[in-house]
Amino acid sequence: MSDQSIYDAVVIGAGHNGLTTAFYLSRAGLKTVVLERRSIVGGCAVTEVIDPDLAPGCRVSTASYIASMLRPEVIRDLRLADFGLKMVACDPGVQTAMPDGRVISWWSDPDRMRAELKQKAPEDADRFFEIEEELQRLAAYIQPFFLEAPPDPGRRGMSRLFELLRFGKRFRGISETEISGLVQFMTGSLGKFLDDNFNSELTKRLILSNSLYGKHGGPYQPGTAMGLLFHLLVGGEEERQGFAGHVLGGMGSITEAMANSCRAAGVDIRTDCPVARINQVNGKVRGVTLDDGNTIEAPTVVSNADPKRTFLGLLAASGLSDDFRRDVENIKMAGPCGKVNLVLAEEPRVQGMPEEHTPAQRSLFTLAPSLQEAEDNYNASARGELGDDLWVDCVVASNVDPQLAADGRHVMTCFVQYLPYALKQGNWSQRRDELGDKVVDIIGRYAPNVPSSVIARKVYTPLDLEETFGITEGNIFHGDINLAQMFFMRPLPGWSRYQTPIGGLYLCGSGTHPGGGVTGAPGHNAAKRILHDRK
pLDDT at 3: 52
Q: How far apart are CA 113 and CA 360, in angstroms?
A: 17
Q: Where are the beta strands (DSSP E) in 46-99?
A: 47-49, 59-61, 87-89, 94-97
Please work out, in degrees rounded to the nearest 5, the angle formed at the alpha carbon of residue 367 by the alpha carbons of 413 and 204: 135
**CA 216, 222, 224, 226: dihedral to nearest 10 degrees?**
-130
367-to-242, 310, 413, 447, 475 alpha-carbon distances in Å: 20, 36, 13, 11, 22
Tell me the average pLDDT across 150-161.
71
Q: Check pLDDT > 60 for residue 47.
A: yes
Q: How confident is the model at residue 197 (pLDDT cuts 50, 70, 90)?
A: very high
pLDDT tops 80 at residue 156: no
Count Cα neighbours of 357 within 13 Å in the Cβ-side half-sphere.
24
Give the pLDDT confidence score for residue 2 in this predicted structure.
Answer: 52
H/E element, 300: strand 300-303
User: Mean pLDDT over residues 2-17, rounded?
Assistant: 86
Closest CA relative to residue 237, chosen from 249, 245, 229? 245
Contacts of 508 (CB under 8 A, 6+ apart): 11, 17, 18, 20, 21, 302, 303, 304, 498, 522, 523, 526, 527
With bands split at pLDDT 50, 70 and 90, how would you rate the model's confidence at 138? confident
Whole-number average pLDDT of the chain: 92
Provide, rounded to the nearest whole percent, the portion of the chain with pLDDT above 70. 95
Using a pLDDT cut of 90, give the percent of the chain over it: 77
For the chain, counts of helices (H) and of strands (E): 17, 21
| pLDDT given at position 13 | 98
Which stretches does DSSP call E strand in 444-512?
454-460, 505-507
* Per-residue pLDDT at 68 exceeds 70: yes
Evaluate if residue 459 carries a pLDDT over 90: yes
Task: Write the pLDDT tens digit of every residue in 85-130.
Answer: 999 999 999 999 999 999 999 999 999 999 999 999 999 999 999 9
Alpha-carbon span 366 to 390, nearest angstrom: 11
DSSP E strand stretches across 230-283: 234-235, 240-241, 245-247, 268-270, 275-281
Q: Is residue 213 pLDDT above 80, yes or no?
A: no
Tell me the C-alpha to C-alpha distance, in Å, between residue 400 and each of 176, 190, 296, 440, 446: 44, 31, 43, 22, 21
**Alpha-helical runs (H) found in 447-481:** 450-453, 462-469
pLDDT band of residue 139 (cuts 50, 70, 90) is: confident
The arithmetic mean of pLDDT across residues 292-321, rounded, is: 95
Note the pLDDT of residue 491.
95
Q: What DSSP element (H or E) covers 530?
A: helix 521-534
Query: Given this model, what pLDDT does residue 167 score?
Result: 67
Rounded CA gap, 182 and 140, in Å?
Answer: 11
Q: Where are the alpha helices (DSSP H) in 53-211?
A: 72-77, 110-120, 125-142, 157-169, 176-187, 190-197, 201-208
Say whether 420 sits in a helix, a strand or coil. coil
Q: What is the pLDDT of residue 299?
A: 96
Q: Give, as one character, the DSSP assignment of residue 31.
A: -
C-alpha–C-alpha distance, residues 301 and 526, integer Å: 11
Q: Which of 206, 294, 259, 314 shows the shortest CA–CA distance to 40?
A: 259
Alpha carbon 197 to chain centroid, angstroms: 28
CB 41, CB 271: distance < 8 Å: yes
Q: Does the pLDDT at position 448 exceed 60?
A: yes
Q: Check whether the bond before 144 is cis (ω within 30° of 0).
A: no
DSSP reduced 3-state for 484: helix
Q: 217 pLDDT band (50/70/90 cuts)?
A: confident
Question: Looking at residue 364, what is its pLDDT?
Answer: 96
**CA dihedral for 192, 475, 300, 25, sign (positive or negative):** negative
Closest CA to 65 of 339, 319, 301: 339
Please give the backbone phi and psi of residue 381, each rounded to the nearest 5 degrees, phi first: -65, -35
Does the predicted model carry a pTM greater than 0.75?
A: yes
- Residue 388, pLDDT score: 86
What is the tens place of the pLDDT at every residue in 369-428?
999 999 999 999 999 999 888 999 999 999 999 999 998 999 999 999 999 999 999 999
Could you tell me where the DSSP H helices lie in 37-124?
Answer: 72-77, 110-120
